[in-house]
C-alpha cells in the first residue's frame, strides 16, 4: 500500500487539480525505493499495489501524472498483476499492453459520471466504466485462486456489472 499523497503531493479534490509535488521529496524517494525493493523480492503468483490516486483514469481527475512518471515503470518492470485505487467517484477497469490491471473503485460515497479525461488514457486501455449518478454506487470484488485472479464490479443492489480475469504472473528472470 502506497501513500500516494506522500509520493505525489496533495490535490484539490473539488477543483480537479493534479498533485503538484510531494511536500517532502526525500520521503517520496524513500517510499519509491522501498516499493522497488518489495517488488524486486516478490515471488508470489499475484502482486498487487494499492494507493489512493489512480495511475490511469478517464474520469474527473484523469491520469495522475506523478504516478505515470514514477510508478508506472515499476509496475511494468516487476510484472505487477494489478494496481488498486479510488479517488475518482465511479468504477473503472483499465488494462495496459503489459497485462497490468488498473482497478478503480471509488463509488462508495457518491457517483460521478465524468469521462472528461477519456482522451488522456491510451487507446484500448479502458475496459469498463460505471458512473451512474442516481445509483447507490458499487464496489470491486477481487478473488484470487491458484489459477487466476478475478475482479467483479458489483452495483450496490448486488447486480454484477463487469467481470474480468487476470492470469498468474510469469516468473521473472533476475533483473
**CA–CA distance from 57 to each of 54, 112, 164 (Å)?**
6, 13, 18
Tens of pLDDT, residue by residue over 113-125, are: 999 999 999 999 9
In whole angstroms, give the CA distance from residue 26 to residue 23: 9
pLDDT of residue 15: 58
Average pLDDT over residues 135-154: 96
The values of phi and psi at residue 78, to 5°, are: -100, 15
The CATH fold assigned to 4-167 is Purple Acid Phosphatase; chain A, domain 2 (3.60.21)
In whole angstroms, give the CA distance from residue 142 to residue 134: 25
Tens of pLDDT, residue by residue over 3-46, are: 999 888 887 665 567 777 888 889 989 999 999 999 999 999 99
In the chain, the percentage of residues whose pLDDT exceeds 70 is: 94
In whole angstroms, give the CA distance from residue 80 to residue 42: 10
In whole angstroms, give the CA distance from residue 161 to residue 25: 40
pTM, rounded to two decimals: 0.92
**Residues near 166 by Cβ (< 8 Å), separated by ≥ 6?**
46, 81, 82, 99, 101, 148, 149, 150, 151
Domain ranges of the chain: 4-167
Pairing between β-strand 101-105 and β-strand 82-85 as defined by DSSP bridges: parallel
pLDDT of residue 21: 80
Pairing between β-strand 148-155 and β-strand 82-85 as defined by DSSP bridges: unpaired
Amino acid at each position: 500500500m502506497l501513500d500516494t499523497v506522500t509520493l505525489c503531493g496533495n490535490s484539490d479534490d473539488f477543483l480537479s487539480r493534479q498533485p503538484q509535488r510531494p511536500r517532502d521529496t526525500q520521503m517520496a524517494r524513500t517510499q519509491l525505493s522501498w516499493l522497488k525493493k518489495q517488488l524486486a523480492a516478490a515471488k508470489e503468483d499475484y502482486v498487487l499495489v494499492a494507493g489512493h490516486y489512480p495511475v490511469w483514469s478517464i474520469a474527473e481527475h484523469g491520469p495522475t501524472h506523478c504516478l505515470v512518471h514514477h510508478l508506472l515503470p515499476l509496475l511494468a518492470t516487476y510484472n505487477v498483476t494489478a494496481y488498486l485505487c479510488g479517488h475518482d467517484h465511479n468504477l473503472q477497469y483499465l488494462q495496459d499492453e503489459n497485462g497490468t490491471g488498473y482497478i478503480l473503485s471509488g463509488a462508495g460515497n457518491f457517483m460521478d459520471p465524468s469521462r472528461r479525461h477519456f482522451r488522456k488514457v491510451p487507446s484500448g486501455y479502458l475496459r469498463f466504466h460505471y458512473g451512474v449518478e442516481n445509483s447507490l454506487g458499487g464496489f470491486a470484488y477481487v478473488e484470487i485462486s491458484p489459477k487466476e485472479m478475478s475482479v467483479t464490479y458489483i452495483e450496490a443492489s448486488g447486480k454484477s456489472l463487469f467481470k474480468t480475469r487476470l492470469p498468474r504472473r510469469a516468473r521473472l528472470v533476475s533483473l
